[in-house]
Amino acid sequence: MFETTREFAESLDQKDELKAYREEFYLNPETIYLDGNSLGLLSRRAERSLNEIIHSWKDLAIDGWTSGENPWFYLSERLGELSAELVGAKKHEVIVTATTTTNLHQLVATFYKPSGNRTKILADELNFPSDIYALQSQIKLKGLDPKEHLVQVKSKDGRSIDEVDIIEAMTEEIALIVLPTVLYRSGQLLDIERLTKEAHKRGILIGFDGCHSVGAIPHYFSDWGVDFAYWCTYKYLNSGPGGVGSLYVNQRHFNHVPGLTGWFGSNKEKQFDMEHEFVPADHAGAYQIGTPHILSSAPLIGSLEMFSEIGIKRIREKSLLGTKYLMHLVEEELSGFNFTIGNPLDEERRGGHVSLEHHEAARICKALKEHGVIPDFRAPNVIRLAPVALYTSFVDIWNSVQIIKKIMQEKRYEKFENKRDVIA
């Protein structure tokens, strides 16, 4: 299917239906950016919508809460509606608010209710540390010991988690399950629908961390019956550093009072009554705690416009083609240099990035940056490369592999120390 020539990469770009969107982004002509799974690039639309919100503050002052093109008072709800299609949710089931870990705390505080024999939370040993810290914290707040009440499913190979092992761990002691949609190191996409069905068969609530999938992979949370989910917007959704978080709650749980109540979770018709009795919103907005982060939400207005135009299915199609092409080039051009592809090869199991494993990974990443390729390192030995559908060209992918090949042939990585920088 694929050829290894530059001309073939150029032919893929010519046929790319999304190639015009590359012009929407601020691309450094001297670098190839393959780290969009950590921080997406700035688009012109995101810049414009940020400037519009800044001008609404400048021109309207306090009246910006209820006036202008995007009144701040309703912005979180509006962005939630625009995000809903990305995760297969109903519009009122998503709210854009707070940060990823704050939202996880909110959701676990709401849905983790240990009683009787059901006192444990089920997670996995490959999850992102912040999620585990939050789960440990919530268990402690219940007066329980995380060493006993946090169950982490083991990985057999250090890079993936077997769904069979997760299902076997769904015992009568489990009160809540929290898992990633995509494992952040290897890019393994879990079978969300299957795991949700199996959890519900056993009377267990289940939620997912979508940080490494939302904006790259279609989900169908409502149809699958997922109880809750949460994700960031600064990776594939390109909302900028510190961009606001998002959460989803299935509408069947709207009768719950959130575990952490705050003023902005109020019914908006009641919020300014200033009563001391909390009246929650009758949608996912009830799970807001504090005042919306208006300036860090603003870029998302412009960014989500593009996702609405394109549709997440078309984005996924290009993402899969990009990762498949990248893996082909790795196998053809980098054989003999001891690279291992650590992500699943099956398209139904692969997220939005390619995970290259190498014992010199940290110093290879440094050499790549010196040669104009921006990768991502994850300890102990992973180079993550993300060909993002909206702005990575197939020629970018081809050039990147040629640069890796040159670095390895000439051992240019050897001048660097094989350890991560402060931020990796």
- What span, in angstroms and rounded, lies between the C-alpha atoms of 358 and 378? 11
Task: Confirm or deny that 239 is annotated as ligand binding.
Answer: no
- Residue 100 is assigned to a ligand binding site: yes
Treating both helix axes as pointing N-terminal to C-terminal, what angle do 312-333 and 6-15 enclose, rounded to 10 degrees? 180
Q: Are the C-beta atoms of 161 and 107 separated by less than 8 Å? A: no
* Three-state DSSP state, 114: coil
Residue carrying structure tokens 């450094």: 28
- Sheet-wide strand order for 150-153: 94-96, 246-249, 228-231, 205-209, 174-180, 120-124, 150-153
119 annotated binding-site participant: no
Structure tokens at 398: 């081809």
> What number of H helices and E strands is found in the chain?
13, 13
Beta carbons of 52 and 59 less than 8 angstroms apart: no
209 is in an annotated binding site: yes
Q: Helices in 61-187 by DSSP H: which ranges? A: 75-87, 100-111, 129-141, 146-149, 163-168
Say if residue 375 carries a ligand binding annotation: no
Supply angle C-alpha 66, 236, 403, rounded to 5: 145
Cα 420 from Cα 424, distance rounded (Å): 6
Structure tokens at 212: 């490494």
Which tokens go with 217?
């992979």
Query: E strand or H helix at 378, and its extent?
Result: strand 376-378
Residue 101 known to bind ligand: yes
The token duo for 316 is 């996924």
- What are residue 15's phi and psi, to 5 degrees? -90, -5
Q: Per the annotation, does 31 bind a ligand?
A: no
> Strand, helix or coil at 385?
strand
Give the number of other CB atoms < 10 A from CB of residue 31: 13
> Is 253 known to sit in a ligand binding site?
no
Under 8 Å between Cβ of 300 and 233: yes
Residue type at position 360: E
55 is known to lie in a ligand binding site: no
The SS3 assignment for 335 reads: coil
Q: Can you say which residues are annotated as belonging to the binding site?
A: 100-101, 128-131, 209, 212, 234, 263, 291
Q: Can you say which residues are annotated as belonging to the binding site for pyridoxal 5'-phosphate?
A: 100-101, 128-131, 209, 212, 234, 263, 291
